[in-house]
Each structure stands twice: as C-alpha cells, then as structure tokens.
Amino acid sequence: MNIAIIGAGLTGLTAGLRLSQSGHKVTLYEKENYLGGLSSSVNIGSEAIDRFYHHIFVSDSEFLALIDELNINNLINWYEPKNAIYINDNLYPFTTPLDLLLFKPLSLISRIRMGIMVLCSRFINDYSTFESITAKEWIIKRSGKDVWEKVWEPLIKSKFDFDSNSISGTWIWNKLKLRGTSRGKSLNKEMLGYIDGAFKSVIDKIGEQIIKNGGNILLNKEVTKISKAEKDLFEVLTQDSKASYDKVLFTSSPTILSSVLQDSAGTDLLNLEAGKNPPSAIESPAHQPKDEENHLAHYKKSLNSIAYKANICLILELSESLSPYYWITVAQEGLPFVLIVEHTNLVGLRGYDSHIVYLSRYLDVSNPLYSAPDQCVIKKFIKGLKKVFPDIKDGIIKNITLSRAPFAQPVITLDYGKKMPAIKTPIEGLYLASMPQIYPEDRGLNYAVRLGEKAANEILENL
C-alpha cells in the first residue's frame, strides 16, 4: 500500500515507522522545515534543546520501549527534580508530601485534604464518574473550596483561559494520577527522564529508520487539499505538488483536517461504513452526491467542535540561575505565564553555555497576546519574571527564543469522551490520529507514541 501521513510530529513518525516496517510505502508531509512538531528542537550553544519543554516519566512504557527498540536507551538519564509553587508573592517548595504539609497558604485541614486527593487519584482507574462533573466541582468536593480558590483555580484559568469553568474533572484527575506514577514505589521521590541530545535524538532516529525502510519525508510541504480521486485513490495537494495514495493518515489538528478535506465532483468521497447513516439505497443517484455532501459537512462540523488552546513559550539563556527549582508552578493571577521551568536545574549545564529557563503561557488564539509582536510578548514576560524574582538584572539575559503553537492543548470539557473523534473516519481509507484522541490522558511524548502505534495498527487491520 502507498500511504500518506500528514504531519511529522512524534505520532506521525511513530505510525510511519510501524507502517514502513510492515512493508508499506509511506510518505510523510511536514509543513515546517524540521521534524518533530511540538517535540522539535532548536540549538543553544553546542546542544540541541527542545523548542517546548519536555521530560518523561518512569511510567512512560511505550516511549521507553520505543527507544529500547531503536537502540538508543543509553541516551536516557534519570533525575530527581526540585519543584516549587509561586503564590501570594512567595515561592514555596512543592516536591514532597512534607512540602505540602508545610504549605502555609492553606490551612492544615486543607493541606491534608489536598494530600489525600492527590494520593487517592493515583489508585483510581475508572474515570467515567469524572466526565460529567467539572474540575471545580471535583476539587471542591474532595479537598475543599480553599484548595480550589488558592491553588487550582488560578492554574486552570491560566491553562484554559475563558473555558476554565467548563473543564472536566477527568482532566485534573489524570494530571494528579500521572504525577503520582512518576514517583514509582516511593511517594517521597519523583524521577524524571531526559534524553542526551534532546528528544531530537529520538525524532531523527525514527526518521532515519523510515527512510531506510523505503519511506519518504517531505519537509516544507503544507498540505492544502485532500480529496478522493478515481479508483478510490486519495489526492494529496500542496502548493507545488500533487500525488495519489491508497490511504491517508492525518496527524495534525481536527480543525485543519476539516479545512483541507474536500469533495471532488463526481466522486464518492464518503464511502460510509455500516452504522454511519449512509445515503439510502432507494434514493436516485442524482440525490446521492447531495447526501454525501451533507455527511461530509456533518463530519467537518464534528471536527471543528474540538477546541484548543495555543501556547507561547520563551526560552531564556541566562548567565545566572534564577532559583534551585526545576519546575515552578505559578498559582497567582496577574502573571503572563503559568510555568517557570529551569531546565538546567534538572539536567545540568551541558553544552548550553547558559542557564536555560522556559516561560510558558496557554491562551486562546483570539487573545491579542498570541498574535502580538515578539518584542511585546517578551517585554510582558520579562516584566512578570521580575515580579517573581525582583533581583533579576537585565544583564543576565543573554538571548531569548520565542515559539508559538496554535494547537497546544485540547480543551477537555464535560462528557468529552462522547465527542472525541475516532481514528477511522467515516471516509473509507482516511484516518485521524491527533492530540485530542489521547484522552483521557493529557498531552505527552508517551501518549503521542501510543497514538501513533494505535493508528498504524488500525490501518493494518483494515487493509
């Protein structure tokens, strides 16, 4: 089979690896001039570093199995992080259960209730009861209003913007469960993994294997149209090319799929499966194209119902360290970012020749800050950083790299599982594997690998 994969992030690359290993000809289309998507990298000093901050957890079994298969498991190193939370104009250690017990912004009973909530989340596997209640309702029920207002409300607001009040309890449960499993058997010791050469080492290795298996990777190729051609082949168009394929796997956002998916006059784009409400067999052929058009419009509408938040991420190269902490959660409203991640406090200085700090902000693409000029964003972020660290001097900032991602965080609303799109679309031969389908898990490298594996398996099963 000749298979097109749209998007060369970790999900698309993993699917491409599996399909090419099964003897199929795969061609990956990537609109950027680099591989990896949100897992891509930039160069600082003599080192590659992730464009957006990443680490892995000890429970990330799919990712660890993949790097073992690629024979690069020797590149993984494990570190014990020191974390903090910024609230009420102060930094508080927030790594161990003892840190929580000593956390003064909450009353003692609130600290205990929050600790029990976090601990219990680790052992809950059935999330169905959380789908129909909001994160706010779930947190208040389990740990009280004080915990919600002082810790979680500002965090969720900074993560989901104006959608914060409609976020499902499933999302917050999964966050707590994941952090619990990162501690392994020891509740007091969290371990995080990082790859020598950044996660680019994994991305590049997968790309090499796909090419070795006879596949093709096309960079700077933004797909502008996907349609069904004659003999049930798909036509994939870019600004300067057109090619035909037996199957297509789309790994970018559902919204983008909706915009590029087009009917072709005189073709049967929607060969709907049983149970998908196909056009009636008794209708005349003259009516069927109109019905197919309606089915396509309905599918596009369902794709467009999946909302996202964008991300703005700054990488600061500093001559001095900001703090002893790796991960600082910003639980105070009024600051332009939700996270301060001092990467070099986890992995060391390496070849960066600088202390590396990420500043991250989630927001709606309609927020004026997202489309503001780089210097305006940088000025606002640095002003916020000086509020957290009043003694910081401009002279320690050696360089700043700003990255934007329009599709960085799916908005997980109530009963999200009911509207999550399937991998196998209603269009025969077209498949979708995108971040919103990782649910109930949240974003992460491990789940991108898992989704790529799952999509490849589904394509192979349906050949």
Ordered by start, the domain boundaries in the chain are 2-54+199-306+418-461, 96-181, 192-198+307-410
The pLDDT assigned to 263 comes to 67
**pLDDT 10s digits, 303-334:** 999 999 999 999 999 999 999 999 999 999 89
Using the predicted structure, report yes or no on whether residue 349 has a pLDDT greater than 80.
yes
**pLDDT 10s digits, 234-277:** 999 999 999 999 999 999 999 999 999 986 543 435 443 333 44
Report d(CA 419, CA 421) in Å as an integer: 6
Q: Band the pLDDT of 164: cuts 50, 70, 90.
A: confident
Phi/psi at 349 (5° precision): -75, -30
* 278 token code pair: 């196909």
Domain 2-54+199-306+418-461 matching CATH 3.50.50.60: the answer reads yes
The pLDDT assigned to 30 comes to 98
The pLDDT assigned to 291 comes to 52
Residue 215, amino acid = G
The pLDDT assigned to 419 comes to 87
In 3D space, the residue among 292, 274, 272, 314 whose CA is nearest the CA of residue 401 turns out to be 314
Using the predicted structure, report yes or no on whether residue 287 has a pLDDT greater than 70.
no
In 3D space, the residue among 11, 16, 1 whose CA is nearest the CA of residue 463 turns out to be 1
The pLDDT assigned to 61 comes to 95
Q: Band the pLDDT of 289: cuts 50, 70, 90.
A: very low
pTM of the model: 0.90
User: How is domain 192-198+307-410 classified at the architecture level of CATH?
Assistant: Alpha-Beta Complex (3.90)
Helix (H, G, I), strand (E, B) or coil at 130: helix
The pLDDT assigned to 162 comes to 84
The pLDDT assigned to 276 comes to 41
**pLDDT 10s digits, 436-451:** 999 888 889 999 999 9
Mean pLDDT across 39-47: 96
* 284 token code pair: 């005349």
Report d(CA 223, CA 254) in Å as an integer: 14
Using the predicted structure, report yes or no on whether residue 225 has a pLDDT greater than 90.
yes
